[in-house]
Amino acid sequence: MKAAVFHGPNQLKLEEVEKPEINDFEVLVKVNASAVCGTDVRIFEGKKTKGVRTPSIIGHELVGTIEEVGAQVKDFFVGDRVGVMPVIPCRKCYYCLNGRENVCANRTAIGYEFDGGFAEYVKIPSTALEAGNLVSIPDHISFEEAVVAEPLACCINGQRKANVKMGDVVVVVGGGPIGLMHVQLAKIAGAKSVILSEPIAHRREKALLAGANLAVDPQNESLQDLVLSETDGLGADVVIMAIGVPFIVNSSANLLKKGGTLNLFAGFTKGVMSEIDPNVIHYNEINVNGTSALTRADYYKSLSLIAAGQINTEVLTTKGYTLDDIEQAIVDVRNGNGMKSVITQ
């Protein structure tokens, strides 16, 4: 089969590899669509290494059709349309037992410890099946729509951490696909106003289509002045950083009203530090928190929102890529040329 094999930083090669063989407790899925995440970009550049093997097949956002089913597998059949939750919790550690399976101490993941979706086929290990990580996709959802269920589920987790409420003013920093997911989820949660900050023009245009009330170019306008003018000088209730740029953490915190919440949603490069004025946290009593991955419940909620037509997936994705274009698909995400690159087969 064809697969994009990651050999190290900036070394991703399309190769012919052996089609995975499954045992009685596993499932083989034909990958119909996979998508490039910002994390894949960081892996490609060598900025994210935890759980990443070389050589290996990366890609953790994927949906497809069941090709083979192990003799001992129940509930799934050849031809079933399925989505894959990549993070496999152990269900036994302290975090799993206390409602934080997304940060499971023993977590493994497809696209990391197990080969991922930048291939024609992917093997779903027994641990994933036992944990319920393979999910049926409704027939009326296309694979191109369903492939965003995993990152959308991560954003649902982030919205919960950010505690977006009805009537809130929300600022989303970063207008990539993740930022636009947060725009849509904040509006669903009842935010009265969502302000998006993004220097790339085509992403600001898509943000308005996604439901943002204002889309600001921070390179030519003062985001802080605009937020203050829109909130009678108080500041935003919630700021979500959908881009991992350390030097803007402090300015993002300064956009908040007293008692507001700053959610560091995006991943940051390991070892790159950020300065933040502790007095902003102290005197303004702001909350600063982070978000990692998703829970299985988040994935089901994500899929149900897509199925109900409540998420505009068109503004989130750029289609037309195949495995032959995998490196270009990653570079385009890195450079902001499109949105989330979707690879179909």
Q: What DSSP line would sit under 75-136, residue for residue?
A: S--TT-EEEE--EE--S-STTGGGT-GGG-TT-EEBTTTB--SSBSEEEE-HHHHHHT-EEE
Radius of gyration in angstroms for the set of CA atoms belonging to the chain, rounded to a whole number? 20
Specify the pLDDT at position 167: 98
> Which residues contact residue 153 at a Cβ distance below 8 angstroms, ignoring those fewer than 6 apart?
85, 294, 295, 298, 299, 301, 302
Torsion angle in degrees (nearest 10) through CA of 284, 286, 288, 291: -150
Specify the pLDDT at position 312: 98
Q: List C-alpha distances in Å: 257 to 103, 227, 263.
A: 29, 10, 14
**Tokens describing residue 172:** 């989303």
Specify the pLDDT at position 96: 98
Specify the pLDDT at position 175: 97
Specify the pLDDT at position 10: 93
* Residue for token pair 């203050």: 228
Specify the pLDDT at position 222: 97
Q: φ and ψ at 93, to 5 degrees?
A: -75, 175
Tens of each residue's pLDDT in the chain, 345 residues? 999 999 999 999 999 999 999 999 999 999 999 999 999 999 999 988 888 899 999 999 999 999 999 999 999 999 999 999 999 999 999 999 999 999 999 999 999 999 999 999 999 999 999 999 999 999 999 999 999 999 999 999 999 999 999 999 999 999 999 999 999 999 999 999 999 999 999 999 999 999 999 999 999 999 999 999 999 999 999 999 999 999 999 999 999 999 999 999 998 888 889 999 999 999 999 999 999 999 999 999 999 999 999 999 999 999 999 999 999 999 999 999 999 999 998
Give the three-class secondary structure for 48. coil
Domains defined for the chain, CATH in brackets: 2-148+313-344 (3.90.180.10), 153-290 (3.40.50.720)
Specify the pLDDT at position 340: 97
